[in-house]
Amino acid sequence: MTTRHFPPPALGRSRVPGEGLLDDRGPHFRPTVLAGAPRIGVLALQGDVLEHLRLLDVAGAVGAPVQTTADLDGLDGLVLPGGESTTIGTLLELHNLLGPLRQRIDAGLPVFGTCAGAILLARRALRHDGTPVEQTLVGGMDMVVRRNAFGRQVASFEADLDVTGLTAPMHAVFIRAPWIEEAGSEVEVLATADTDLGPRVVVARQGALLASAFHPELTDDPRLHHLFVRLVEEAETPRKRPVRC
């Protein structure tokens, strides 16, 4: 089966609905990207793509929407956005992206998953009530996540969180967010949120993989994106070390 670009790039049309909105990227946007800036893809099958592209610009990277396996070539890093993890997982399979993505992660591609994206990075997902749920995950991080852990859409909330490595708290937007229920020994906990059950892990890192249960892209605070860009710059990425498919 061949993968199809839609709309074909040759037409020069925007590949993500609303992409034209990025022409007004606000005061932080630097139209001339520095030579050598890392190229970071944002999986653009479902979820909040534009918001990540905007903050990647602010964080000094060149953002690129990813919809096909060809789009994965030449990336230094990838963002898996928030949205709906079951939908994104299904679309990854339909677009023949699941295998190539797993292969690149194995080869060291840095990935930043936010909310649904964080769920996709887990090795196992649980429902809100803690029972296991069968869904397509990308994997990569040795963690189990509990989906919708804080409750339904109406239980969405915002909180100021201390994140390891950041000097001031981060304002965090949680929308039907997961938490990290179990983290393996290789997983470094970077932030927890207070819950009725005690603190629960909401930001974690394993090597060049970063997971955030909240949506940093929905605020103007680029610090987690900066952190990811730093991980990308430090990593030995597939682009620097070509992968054979």
* Catalytic annotation, residues: 115, 215, 217
Task: In angstroms, give the least distance from the CB of 4 to ligand GLN.
Answer: 26
Rank residues 30 and 127 by Cβ distance to ligand GLN and give the closer one.
127
- Tell me if 84 contacts ligand GLN by CB under 6 A: yes
Burial class (CB in 10 A: 0-12, 13-18, 19+), 19: middle
Q: β-pairing, 77-80 with 111-114?
A: parallel
Identify the residue among 52, 95, 176, 226 touching ligand GLN (CB under 6 A).
176
How far is it, in rounded angstroms, from Cα 63 to Cα 15? 13
Q: How far is CA 218 from its chain centroid?
A: 13
Nearest to 204 by CA among 230, 185, 232: 185
Residues 98-157 that bind ligand GLN (CB under 6 A): 115-116, 119, 147-148
Q: With CB under 6 A as the contact rule, which of the stretches 8-16, 31-39, 80-88, 190-198 interacts with ligand GLN?
A: 80-88
Cα radius of gyration rounded to whole Å, the chain: 17
**Choice from 43, 45, 55, 175 touching ligand GLN (CB under 6 A):** 175
With respect to ligand GLN, which residue has the nearer C-beta, 176 or 225?
176
Residues 33-52: x/- map of binding to ligand GLN (CB under 6 A)?
--------------------
Structure tokens belonging to residue 174: 């949680």
- From the CB of residue 70, how many other CB atoms can be counted at a distance below 10 Å? 12
List interacting residues with ligand GLN (CB under 6 A): 82-85, 115-116, 119, 147-148, 175-176
